[in-house]
A = this chain, B = another copy of it.
């Protein structure tokens, strides 16, 4: 006995309010153009019937949905959580609804989801980082859908982005590590394929080491997906290598925390026997013992600014303006000075 309470439409509202559909539409979208009295009647009818606009129809007629889409690589670790939460909150206060999906770091899925969001009428889309197949960008441009990149910033790239310079930040951290006297450096990087953030962080290290005169072939580097256990396993592998590093630099805090954990399991003292660094400055890095030396990224700030800018692009039709945010080296007890 499925009672099919029909979904109330704008026409139903018009009927019960005793006005035309057009007036209902105006009451909802441009209330200023409607008399106070009719507005009241319409509102009452809307509440009475529990009417909700059909966005499919609205999208077809008006080409706007007040919806912003975001595609993030993963929800599984907290890397993007804080920034996206801030993004969402700001969008909400601007009257937009955020719809999120996650791609599991799979470019195919990401491309699919871009089309899914476009099909559903997203007024604008937030993407993470620069690297993706050119066809995705072409699609977005052809569809005239404003998009903004976040979590990365490259001065030489024209695409609108709000983020930080992953390479430069890691370069500075490496600088610090060298200044503290470390010369035996190993690296656990996130998977660089298809991930410009991971690639640039790795580059930050290798470029700095090259400047220092290192032979990069002798620097142990392990690449592995961002995951605590992967960080742990990579760390163990590095420590079993021919020459023990004095410091293990990790591509992010998740890997760093994994390394730290395995160090403790192996009975290695951090930092006296081995130092460990991370990247991102998420909570995880603060709650472990010792706290992880890392690069703190202004996640909330980035989320807020991205929301403001993307909405500006959507509403003005103007091209996006990139913004570079500063990151900050945070030295904690997970590293020791050998100098």
Residues of A within 8 A of B (CB): 2, 4-5, 7, 50, 52-60, 65, 67, 74-78, 81-82, 84-85, 88-89, 92, 97-102, 104, 109, 113, 115-116, 118-121, 138-139, 142-144, 228, 257, 260-261, 264, 283-284, 286-289, 317
Contacts and interface: CB of A to CB of B under 8 A. Distances in A.
Contacts of A59: 54, 56
A4 B144 contact: yes
Contacts of A84: 75
A98 B101 contact: yes
Contact of A67 (B4, B74, B120, B228): B120
A121 B288 contact: no
A52 B228 contact: no
A207 to B, nearest CB: 31
Contacts of A118: 52
Contacts of A85: 74-76, 102, 104
A102 B286 CA distance: 25
A144 B5 CA distance: 8
B82 A76 contact: yes
A5 B142 contact: yes
A81 B89 contact: no
Contacts of A288: 287-289
Contact of A75 (B54, B88, B104, B228): B88
A99 to B, nearest CB: 4
A144 B283 CA distance: 41
Contact of A287 (B60, B100, B257): B257
* Of listed A82, A102, A104, A118, residue having the most chain B CB within 10 A: A102
Nearest to A120: B55
A96 to B, nearest CB: 10
B53 A119 contact: yes
A159 to B, nearest CB: 17
Given A75-B81, A289-B264, A50 B119 contact: no
A100 B101 CA distance: 6
Contacts of A2: 144, 317
A116 B97 contact: yes
A279 B28 CA distance: 45
